[in-house]
Amino acid sequence: MKLGQAFKMAVKSILAKKGRSFLTMLGIIIGIASVMTIVATVDGYNRKMMEAFEAQGTNKITVSLSLNSGESGFKKIYDYCMGIEEAIGVTPSAEMEGTIKYGAKTSDTMEWKDRPRVVLGSDQYSLCSSFTVARGRDLCSLDIEKYRQVCVLGARAAKTMFDYADPLYQNLMINGVPFQVVGVYAEKDANSGYSMDSVVVLPYTATRFLPNADNGNSGECVVKVRDSQSINKVLTSLQAYIDSLTQNGERGWGYAWSEQQWQEESNSMLTMISVVLGGIAGISLLVGGIGIMNIMLVTVTERTREIGIRRAIGAERSSIVTQFLVESAMICGVGGIIGIVIGYGGTNLAGKVLFEGMSLYPSPTITLEAFAFSVSLGILFGMYPAIKASGLQPVVALRSE
C-alpha cells in the first residue's frame, strides 16, 4: 500500500466517526495544551525574573552587617572594598521612612505604587544600581563629605511630585527638612508596580539632621564588582572579612550574597516546578495514549472482515501495519494541532493575567516538539493494535461478522 492511500483511508475513517475521533483526541489535546502552557508560563516567569535582576544591575553583591559596638557597618565595608581591585563601587542600600512634600502634594496621600521611596546612597549609587543621569548631575563625593541637603530623583518620582514642571533646583521637603533636587535619572523600570524609578536618593550622611534617622550607620549596602567572573572571589573575601569582624556572631552578625545566587536558586526552583507540573500534564498524555490504543483495538475489531479481504488478495503484513499506524498517528497529530492552538491561547492569557500584560507565546521549538511528540505518541500506542491487525489469519478474519 502506498503512503498516500494510507492517508486517504485514515482521513475517511476519522471523518466517518467524528464524535468518537474527537473524544479520542481529547486526552492528547488537554495534555499538549497543558504542557505548552506550563513550559511557556515558566519561561515567562523566568524572563520576568531576569528582567528584574538586570534592572537592578548585574555583577552586584549585597552585604548586611551589624556590629554590637555601634560602629558603622557601611564604613567598614566601604574601607575594606577600597582595597579590593575587583570592587568598583560601594553604596548603602537602606531605605528610610519619610514623608515627601512639594507644594500641595504629599506622599502620605498617595497609593503605594505611586509613593516615592527615600533611599540613602553614596556618590556611587548610580553605578551600583545601573542608573544614568538624564538631567542635572549625580551625587558627588563633596555632597557626602559636606552633608549637603541635595537629592537625585528617579524618573517616576520626578513625574509623581512635579508632573510636567522642571524639578531641577526645586526643594523637596523630606520629614520637614528641605532637599534641593540636583538631578533626575533616566527611566529604566517603567512597567513594574514597585518601580526602581520611584526613588529619591539622598547622600547617606545627610541623615544626621533628619528625624528618626540612623546617622548613616546602616550596614545594608551593595558592592559593584567589575565582572561576573570576579563575583565569587570578592564574595568569598567579603564573607571572610565579615566573619572576622563579627567573630562568628559574638560581636555582631553579617552576611554577603550575590544576585547570581538568587538567580541560581530561582532557576533551580523553576526547574523543579516545571518537572512536577510537566509530570502532571504527562499523565494526561499517558491517559490519552491509552485511549488511542483502546480505540484502535476497537477499530481493528470493527474492520476485521476488511483486513481478511485485503490479506486474502495478497496484502502484506507491513501494509496493514502502515495503514493503522498512519490512522493512529493522524488522530494524535490532529489532536496535537488543536492542543497547540489552545496552548497558544492559554499562554497568551497567562501572560496578560500573571505578568502585567506581557505578550507570552510558546517558542517555535516547543511548538514543533509538541507536534512531533503527539505524532510519536500515536505511533507508539498504535503499534500494538496495528501488529495485532496484521497478524490476523485471512480465513479467520473472513468468517468474522
**What are the C-alpha distances in Å from 332 to residues 112, 238, 321?**
50, 57, 17
Q: Are 95 and 157 spatial neighbours (Cβ–Cβ below 8 Å)?
A: no
pLDDT band at 68 (very low <50, low <70, confident <90, very high): confident
What is the total residue count of the chain?
Answer: 401
Q: Are 44 and 355 spatial neighbours (Cβ–Cβ below 8 Å)?
A: yes
pLDDT of 295-306, one tens digit each?
A: 888 887 777 777
pLDDT of 172-210, one tens digit each?
A: 999 889 999 999 999 987 666 567 889 999 998 887 878
When the pLDDT of each residue in the chain is averaged and rounded to a whole number, the result is 82
Helix (DSSP H) and strand (DSSP E) numbers for the chain? 12, 13
Q: Are 223 and 63 spatial neighbours (Cβ–Cβ below 8 Å)?
A: yes
Which of 342, 293, 328, 325 is CA-nearest to residue 390?
325
Percentage of the chain lying above the pLDDT 70 cut: 88
Angstrom distance (rounded) from CA 78 to CA 177:
27
Mean pLDDT lowest for which of 133-137, 162-166, 201-205, 324-328? 324-328
Angstrom distance (rounded) from CA 83 to CA 157:
35
pLDDT of 235-269, one tens digit each?
A: 889 989 988 888 877 888 888 888 766 666 777 77
The arithmetic mean of pLDDT across residues 272-286, rounded, is 78
Q: Are 278 and 35 spatial neighbours (Cβ–Cβ below 8 Å)?
A: yes
Q: How far does CA 276 lie from the centroid of its chain?
A: 17
- Residue 215 has what pLDDT? 43
Place of cell 519561561: 43
Which of 82, 59, 52 is CA-nearest to residue 128?
59
pLDDT of 366-392, one tens digit each?
A: 888 888 888 888 888 888 888 887 776
Angstrom distance (rounded) from CA 73 to CA 218:
6
Angstrom distance (rounded) from CA 298 to CA 23:
14
For strand 87-92 and strand 252-258, is the pairing parallel, antiparallel, or unpaired? unpaired
Q: Residue 162 — φ and ψ, nearest 5°?
A: -120, -5
**What are the C-alpha distances in Å from 43 to residues 30, 49, 58, 352?**
20, 10, 20, 14
Please, is 201 exposed, middle or buried when counting C-beta atoms within 10 Å of its C-beta (0-12, 13-18, 19+)? Answer: buried
pTM higher than the cut 0.85:
no
- Residue 205 has what pLDDT? 87
**What are the C-alpha distances in Å from 387 to residues 99, 277, 299, 319, 378?**
78, 34, 13, 11, 14
Which of 6, 72, 27, 34 is CA-nearest to residue 345?
34
Instruction: Tell me the sheet residues that pair with 119.
Output: 95, 201
